[in-house]
Amino acid sequence: MTASFVTVFLPCLLNVVLALFLSPLCEGIMRKLRAAIHSRLGPPITQPYWDLLKLLGKEDLRSTGGVVYASLPALTLGSLLLLATLVPMGTAAPLAFAGDMIVVLYVATMSGVLIMLAGFASASPYASIGSSREMMMLLSVEPILAIALSVGAFKAKTLALGGIVNWQVQNGPSISMAIGGVAFFLALQALAGKLPFDIAEADQEIMGGSLVEQSGPRLALFRWAIWTKQLVFAFLLVEVFFPWPRVGIPLLDLTITMLKVLVVLMLVAVIDVVNPRLRIDQAMGYFMRVAVSSLAALAFAVIGK
Amino acid sequence: MDVIDQRTITTVKEAVAARSDGALLSVTQPHPDTLYFAIDKRAMPAVVDGLVNEMRARFMISVGTDKRPVTGEFAILHLFSLDREHLYILLESPVAEEDLRIASITGVVPGANWAEREYRDAIGVHPEGHPDPRRLLLADDWPEGVYPLRRDFPYNYQPPPAENVRPQLREPPAGASVLPMGPFFPVLEEPAYWRLFVEGETIVGCDTRIFYNHRGIEKLGESVLTYNEIPYLAERICGICGFIHSTCYCQAVEKAAGIEAPRRARYIRTIMLELERIHSHLLWLGIAGHIIGFDTVLMQTWRIREPVMWLCEEISGNRKTYGMNTVGGLRRDLPNQIKPKLMETLAEVEKEAIAVRDAVVGDTTLHARTKGVGVLTNEWAKKICTVGPPARASGVAIDARIDHPYAAYDEVPPQIATQEAGDTWARVLVRVGELLESIRLVREALSAIPEGPICAEIKEEIPPGKVGVSVVEAPRGEAVHFVLTGGDNRPYRWRVRAPTYPNLQALPAMILNETIADVPITLGSLDPCFSCTERLETIDRRTKEVRIYSRADLLEMSRGKARRRGAP
């Protein structure tokens, strides 16, 4: 009992706390960078925390009733925290014994589907257009995640994420994993809902899409979920595709990983700032091409590169 | 100023006489560039057809006037422009009170749609055979049969409150659903209601209701204010192109009264008008970027724009709404010592504008969002009588500065650029080109500006019954002011037509079969200005206390709060 508490529960808690409390900070840093490129002073990097606090303190207004609708924000955030325990973040994934890559892929999809449901359930034409766009984005991006992770699985001959990471650490960089990493990074831009792929929210077109009817604490949880999502996926990218250097001292490894995650998120923010929004058909075409190109990674993996 | 060819005048007179089939009542030429025909109303559609289809005249606006106190009848006037010949043609028909109908010309000129609905709402003369006779100008709860621009209607009348009223809007075609855009929507700075009919993401039609903010500015000008007070009201028609409206009004009155503004005043007007175009186009470029999520463009263009605003403040005392114009010239001179600073700022703005242009022109994602999007065909642009950059981007080479030279444009003419594609990208290119051209024009005007008085001396009262038509090329297109002088030191009729008025009417055709994502940028690419179109203003009269905030104070106010939380 005590042993499992130390080896399972504590690392789980660590991952959840990291994901939950670092994600607003990362968002704050991204906003600051955005402001710098805009020639603005920008909000303080702690602003996202204040945003959450303020929203959490507001009245809970709902456009429709029902238990499912009421629980969607918490479920969305919860699904991402569950994902956080399945993803290695500086150390091995704490819940690795409970699920492999396939489970990760399923859990990763959950948050998108839940936000989509929230949109369809909120009975607003903007939200339902946002949700249908979200669905199209999800369908275009999921295959890329699957292909990119499969490359790792193929090379390491295991479906366990921990196994892939270990194989990567031992064998060093390879062409196939590099291509897979780039494809995963492009998908990350869409998963984080950043430009040029913030199509499902598109303030200027559909006023925030799926989340248009959300406010107060519900909006706070959805926002928090989206920020957590970008952080957890950045961790996944860094750990699976670029895990080096690994020194073996947990605290140092964690710090290095977090620095790398920050670099990835900065890149995401820069791409966000220097691009206008694509139309949904253009984005789907783009991801179709990315998916086809990422098949090249699989081909390289087959010939052992 | 270009001399108007006497042969053109003869041709027009003959054409109108032939088409009116004996119904021609009188022909006058109140100003060398203005021909004024009075014809019987039964001949109106035939004459209009002749002008538009044979003479290639461009419809500008209709003016409905309640002339009962003078002639005992109403009058409907259609205003046309022969752009190449630099000529205005006014066709007026008296309409007797016993038979308040006149044949609609919208069948001949689709661009007359709103104009005809507007005079119907304003004075109650019904355009017979109009394809879409729904309300345009008046609010939905405005009582039937009450016409605000009639002379016996008091300017401060308040209609009784009404309940359960709603706009008459069309239903979507079978299989399509409604996506409302407005009356309040993130990319519309002002209220306008676009009811989009969509199948999935594709637009299959739309309906619109605007004029939520009609301010009754024309009525105020005709009933409360005097000639020299109206420029300040005209300037407040629009928050961006205010100087354009005050200039246009002053020019119309000057023309009607035969007053010649001094050369120096004309040059200063030119400089201010072009400065307005520079800051307006930079503003537009930013907003267009924002609409498609490209906020970096917004932030950078507005940063570049700011020194132009400071310059205007230094010249006039205000960033906007300069209050410089008056009938006969200007109230405030352009100080000569500001010239070096003006040149310096222009050089800086030009350098940065070129940098922005190069960044924008080379951005492939931007091409993907604007090329082939929101196409306005050349044919439709002409039919709906669009003006300004949307017209020029569709290959219609009209520009009021060339076609009807005013201010000092006869001596510093602009080079106008046209594009043929008619899509959003073409409108971007046209405006970016104009931005740089305006910088050149200001420079040229500054170096050629003569010394001398800035305001003509007006000794006599302005006689009643005179007509003046004036146009000014605003950043959004041509603004038209029509003035009919009256007694008691104010116009009998003052008609304002902002450029967005015709341009907005082109939108339904431009968004058909496009996707939802393309609607905001297509609308944005018209650079719409609803306050111009509807002429509204709000005033906060709560606080009487005066405190002057400096730029530093305001920055401190906006940043202090953040700083107290520990930001740098």
Structure tokens at A278: 């694509």
The shortest C-alpha distance from A272 to chain B (Å) reads 9
Which residue among B290, B299, B303 sits closest to A204, beta carbon to beta carbon?
B290
Of A46, A273, A276, the CB nearest to B365: A276
Q: Do residue B517 and residue A280 have CB atoms under 8 angstroms apart?
A: yes
What phi-psi label fits residue B28: left (phi over 0), alpha (psi between -120 and 50 degrees) or beta? beta
What CATH number does the domain located at B6-162 have? 3.30.460.80
Please enumerate in sequence order all residues whose Cβ is within 8 A of that of B98, keeping only pairs 6 or more positions apart, or say none. none
The Cα–Cα gap between B527 and B510 comes to: 14
Among A30, A46, A204, which would you mutate to test the B interface (most chain B Cβ atoms within 10 Å of its Cβ)? A204
Angstrom CA distances, A12 to A18, A23, A96, A301, stand at 10, 16, 10, 32
Distance, CA of A23 to CA of B394 (rounded, Å): 48
Cβ-contact B456, B328 below 8 angstroms: yes
State how far Cα A164 lies from the chain centre.
19
Q: Report in angstroms the alpha-carbon separations of B197 from B84, B169, B170, B208, B502.
A: 40, 12, 10, 11, 22
All structural domains of chain A with their residue ranges: 2-302
Put simply, the answer to whether A207 touches B186 (Cβ < 8 Å) is yes
Residues from chain A contacting residue B177 (CB–CB below 8 Å): 125
Q: How many CB pairs under 8 A join A and B?
A: 87
CB B255 within 8 A of CB B31: yes
Q: Angle, nearest 10°, between helix axes A10-37 and A67-86?
A: 100
Q: Which residue has the tokens 């950059």?
A: B389
**Measured between alpha carbons, how far is A7 from A97 in angstroms, rounded to an integer?**
11
- Taking an 8 Å cut-off on Cβ atoms, the answer to whether B295 and A273 are in contact is yes
**CATH of span B217-455+462-534:** 1.10.645.10
Please report, rounded to a whole number, the percentage of residues in chain A having pLDDT higher than 90.
Answer: 32
The one-letter code for the residue type at A135 is: M
- State whether B293 and A195 contact (CB < 8 Å): yes
Look up tokens 């002749």; give the residue. Answer: B50
3-state secondary structure at position B198:
strand
Q: Give A260's pLDDT tier (boundaries 50, 70, 90).
A: very high
List chain A residues with CB under 8 Å of B368: 278-279, 282
With CA atoms as reference, report the closest residue to B493 among B100, B241, B217, B232.
Answer: B217
Using the beta-carbon criterion (under 8 Å), do B566 and A44 form an inter-chain contact? yes
Measured in angstroms, the CA of B85 and the nearest CA of chain A are apart by 43
pLDDT of A98 over the 80 cut: no
Token look-up 């341009």 returns: B503
Residue B416: which region, alpha, beta or left (left: phi > 0; alpha: psi -120 to 50)? beta
* Residues 6+ positions from B208 with CB-CB distance below 8 Å: B192, B193, B194, B195, B504, B507, B508
Alpha-carbon B399 to chain mean position? 13
Residues of chain B in contact with residue A281, where contact means CB-CB under 8 angstroms, are 515
Domain ranges of chain B: 6-162, 217-455+462-534
DSSP state letter for A87: S
In angstroms, what CA-CA distances link B418 with A255, B142, B359, B374? 58, 43, 21, 17
User: Between chains, do A43 and B178 touch, taking CB under 8 Å as contact?
Assistant: no
| Chain A residues with CB within 8 Å of chain B CB | 37-41, 43-44, 46, 50, 125-126, 129, 132, 195-196, 198-199, 202-207, 273-282
* B290 chain-A contacts, CB cut-off 8 A: 204
Q: Is the pLDDT of residue A242 over 50?
A: yes
The answer to whether domain B6-162 and domain B217-455+462-534 are alike in fold is: no
Contact criterion met (CB < 8 Å) for A204 and B369: no
CA B91 – CA B469 distance, rounded (Å) = 13
Buried b (16+ CB within 10 A) or exposed e, B377-386: eeebbbbbbb
Question: Is the bond preceding B183 in cis, omega lying within 30 degrees of 0?
Answer: yes
Q: Are A280 and B520 in contact (CB < 8 Å)? A: no
**pTM, full prediction:** 0.86
- Hey, what are B291's tokens? 């609409």
CA distances from B211 to B310, B352, B430, B478, B534 (A): 33, 37, 28, 20, 5
Q: Which of A50, A203, A276 sits opposite B294 (nearest CB)?
A: A276
- The Cα–Cα gap between A50 and A44 comes to 10
Cβ–Cβ of B294/A275 closer than 8 Å? yes
CB atoms within 10 A of CB A172: 8
Residue B276, CA distances (Å) to A127, B200, B441, B444, B465 in order: 39, 41, 12, 16, 33
**3-state secondary structure string across B438-453:** HHHHHHHHHHHCCCCC
Identify the CA nearest to B86 among candidates B21, B5, B146: B5
Residue B388 and residue B430 in contact, taking contact as beta carbons nearer than 8 Å: no
For residue B467, what pLDDT is reported? 94
DSSP strand pairing (B477-485 vs B467-474): antiparallel
Which residue, chain included where needed, has tokens 């990983």?
A257
CB contact under 8 A, A206 and B516: yes
Closest-CA residue of chain A to B298: A38
- Contact yes or no for B516 and A273 at CB 8 A: no
Distance from CA of B370 to the nearest CA of A (A): 10
Structure tokens at B352: 């940065």
Judged by CB atoms closer than 8 Å, whether chains meet at B516 and A37 is answered as no
Closest residue of A to B188, CA-based? A204
Give residues with Cβ within 8 angstroms of A68, minimum separation 6.
Answer: A117, A121
On chain B, the residues whose CB falls within 8 A of the CB of A126 are 179
Question: Where does residue B22 fall: left (phi above 0), alpha (psi -120 to 50 degrees), or beta otherwise?
Answer: left
Nearest by CB to residue A38, choosing from B179, B186, B299, is B299
Distance from CA of B299 to the nearest CA of A (A): 5
Gap from A102 CA to chain B (nearest CA, Å): 33
Mutation for testing the B interface, residue in A31, A53, A197, A205 having most B CBs under 10 Å: A205
pLDDT values of chain B reduced to their tens digit, one per residue, 568 residues: 456 788 888 999 999 999 888 889 999 999 999 999 999 999 999 999 999 998 899 999 999 999 999 999 999 999 999 998 899 999 999 999 999 999 999 999 999 999 999 999 999 999 999 999 888 888 888 888 899 999 999 988 888 888 888 888 888 888 888 888 878 887 777 788 888 898 888 889 888 888 887 888 899 999 899 999 999 999 988 888 889 999 999 999 999 999 999 999 999 999 999 999 999 999 999 988 888 888 888 999 999 999 999 999 899 988 888 999 999 999 999 998 999 999 999 999 999 999 988 988 888 888 888 888 889 999 999 999 999 999 999 999 999 999 999 999 999 999 988 999 999 999 999 999 999 999 999 999 999 999 999 999 888 889 999 999 999 999 999 999 999 999 889 999 999 999 988 988 888 888 888 888 888 888 887 777 765 555 433 334 455 555 666 666 766 766 665 566 554 4
Residues of B with CB under 8 A from a CB of A: 177-180, 185-187, 200-201, 289-297, 299-300, 303, 363, 365-366, 368-369, 515-520, 559, 562, 565-567
CB within 8 Å: A39 and B365: no
Residue pLDDT, tens place only, A144-179: 999 999 998 888 888 888 888 888 888 888 888 899
B220 CA: distance to closest CA in chain A (Å): 36
